[in-house]
């Protein structure tokens, strides 16, 4: 069994490994007792940081337990095993974004290590095989890729995501991969939106097809849901230039900071409603101004996502999702476009803040006043909050039930 390499990497003896494999086969779960339940006897989730449970720039056992994958597995009645990371995390999540020093405070800082590593308790197999940072280059690769990282080894132990999923003998899969094929460009610190850092559609499709070809060989698989790529331009880490311009006109910034008139909306002669300003760049300028420096936010600066780059991100995500949907249809698998729900959240400024809320004193507040980026997002402005994970689990459950005619119970 391939996952034997994972146990050996964890330090267990071969004898104990053999016992674990035998125990895995001995205690296969019974089919859930609802209409269509047999398909969900063993659910496995593939993906990247969202699926893994990453929030506020880090993850640990607490955030992992908030993943939509666990919530969906619970509703399905499927056993769930994940690679638990001990507190405070690997890396520890941000717990306070806005501090007097200007440096976000992370859980356990300053004494916490950058990675608290895996729990010594090794599960018999993994049903969440997602790896933060994964792109479409990663699910079939056991070798380093441009997007693999230390967590790839910590979580998979030398296997690919597809191999780890196959080792669990899944009856149903959810696959949410591809966000990072555009997110890296959108969040690039020197040239946000850089088209050279967006995976070309043809290469994305080839990568996705390679993954699906391997998944098609899993004999236990009865069904799956493929999740489309999220519109990365809709995350609150990115704010429109005209929002900065309005804040400037309202006197919200230090007196030594200017926002160029080209950040005004198009109706006022600017381009600010077609330019996105990354949080790190915009608030970096604000921090410099607070220190006495004279700075200007110009909406034509390379640090921002310019109109042509923004259009490219939108069209690329649409092309990715058309390809994913077509492949789901070809296999009679379910498909979910997450951008419908994301757009609904973005329409509510309490859910997705159009401009970061500097009054937030914590990342874990129970209302919008305590969330720098709104209720729907965690403290990095990129990854969804626990509440949004629950929403994702609900819409996945609904989509699966509609497609397969199953009766998965409500998400608890």
pTM listed for this prediction: 0.92
Question: Stretch 230-251: mean pLDDT, rounded?
Answer: 98
Q: How confident is the model at residue 26 (pLDDT cuts 50, 70, 90)?
A: very low
Q: Counting Cβ atoms within 10 Å, is residue 12 exposed (0-12), middle (13-18) or buried (19+)?
A: middle
Q: Where are the domains of the chain?
A: 4-236+307-404, 238-297
Q: Nearest-CA neighbor of 224 among 179, 270, 175, 157?
A: 175
Matching residue, tokens 């992992």: 64
CATH number of 4-236+307-404: 3.40.50.1110
Question: What are the backbone dihedrals phi and psi of residue 43, each rounded to the nearest 5 degrees, phi first?
Answer: -95, 135
Question: Is it the case that residue 85 has pLDDT exceeding 90?
Answer: yes
> What span, in angstroms and rounded, lies between the C-alpha atoms of 209 and 109?
43
pLDDT in tens, 210-221: 999 999 999 999
pLDDT of res. 22: 41
pLDDT in tens, 105-157: 999 999 999 999 999 999 999 999 999 999 999 999 999 999 999 999 999 99
Matching residue, tokens 């005004």: 264
3-state secondary structure of 86: coil
Q: Counting Cβ atoms within 10 Å, is residue 347 exposed (0-12), middle (13-18) or buried (19+)?
A: exposed
Question: Is it the case that residue 327 has pLDDT exceeding 50?
Answer: yes
Q: How confident is the model at residue 3 (pLDDT cuts 50, 70, 90)?
A: very low
Higher pLDDT, 21 or 267: 267
pLDDT in tens, 148-199: 999 999 999 999 999 999 999 999 999 999 999 999 999 999 999 999 999 9
Q: What are the structure tokens assigned to 137, written together?
A: 């280059």
- In sequence order, what are the residues at sequence separation of 6 or more whose Cβ sits closer than 8 angstroms to the Cβ of residue 253? 247, 259, 286, 289
Contact predicate 179/28, CB 8 Å: no
- In sequence order, what are the residues at sequence separation of 6 or more whose Cβ sits closer than 8 angstroms to the Cβ of residue 193? 185, 186, 276, 304, 305, 306, 309, 310, 312, 313
Matching residue, tokens 């789901």: 328
Question: Is it the case that residue 203 has pLDDT exceeding 70?
Answer: yes
């Amino acid at each position: 069994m391939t996952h034997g390499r994972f146990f050996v990497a964890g330090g267990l003896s071969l004898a104990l490994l053999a016992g674990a494999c035998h125990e895995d086969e001995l205690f296969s779960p019974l089919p859930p007792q609802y209409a269509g339940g047999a398909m969900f006897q063993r659910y496995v989730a593939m993906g990247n940081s969202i699926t893994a449970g990453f929030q506020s720039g880090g993850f640990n056992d607490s955030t992992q337990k908030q993943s939509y994958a666990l919530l969906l597995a619970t509703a399905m009645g499927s056993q769930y095993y994940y690679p638990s990371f001990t507190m405070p995390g690997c890396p520890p999540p941000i717990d306070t974004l806005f501090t007097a020093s200007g440096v976000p405070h992370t859980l356990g800082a300053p004494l916490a290590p950058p990675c608290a590593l895996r729990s010594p308790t090794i599960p018999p197999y993994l049903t969440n095989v997602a790896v933060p940072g994964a792109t479409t280059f990663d699910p079939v690769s056991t070798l380093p890729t441009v997007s693999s990282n230390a967590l790839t080894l910590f979580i998979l132990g030398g296997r690919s995501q597809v191999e780890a999923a196959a080792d669990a003998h899944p009856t149903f899969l959810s696959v949410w991969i591809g966000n990072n094929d555009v997110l890296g460009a959108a969040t690039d610190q020197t040239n946000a939106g850089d088209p050279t850092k967006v995976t070309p559609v043809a290469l994305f499709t080839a990568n996705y097809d390679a993954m699906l070809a391997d998944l098609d060989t899993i004999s236990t698989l009865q069904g799956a849901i493929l999740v489309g790529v999220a519109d990365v331009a809709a995350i609150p880490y990115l704010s429109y230039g005209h929002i900065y311009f309005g804040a400037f006109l309202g006197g919200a910034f230090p007196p030594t900071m200017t926002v160029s008139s080209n950040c005004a909306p198009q109706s006022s002669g600017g381009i600010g409603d077609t330019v996105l300003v990354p949080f790190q760049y915009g608030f970096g300028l604000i921090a410099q101004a607070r220190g006495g420096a004279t700075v200007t936010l110009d909406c034509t600066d390379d640090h921002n996502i310019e109109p042509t780059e923004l259009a490219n991100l939108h069209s690329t995500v649409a092309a990715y999702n058309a390809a994913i949907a077509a492949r789901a249809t070809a296999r009679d698998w379910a498909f979910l476009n997450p951008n419908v729900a994301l757009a609904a959240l973005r329409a509510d400024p309490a859910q997705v803040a159009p401009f970061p809320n500097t009054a937030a004193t914590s990342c874990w507040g129970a209302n919008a006043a305590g969330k720098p980026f709104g209720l729907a997002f965690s403290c990095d402005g990129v990854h969804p909050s626990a509440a949004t994970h629950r929403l994702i689990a609900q819409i996945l459950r609904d989509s699966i039930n509609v497609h397969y005619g199953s009766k998965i119970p409500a998400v608890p």
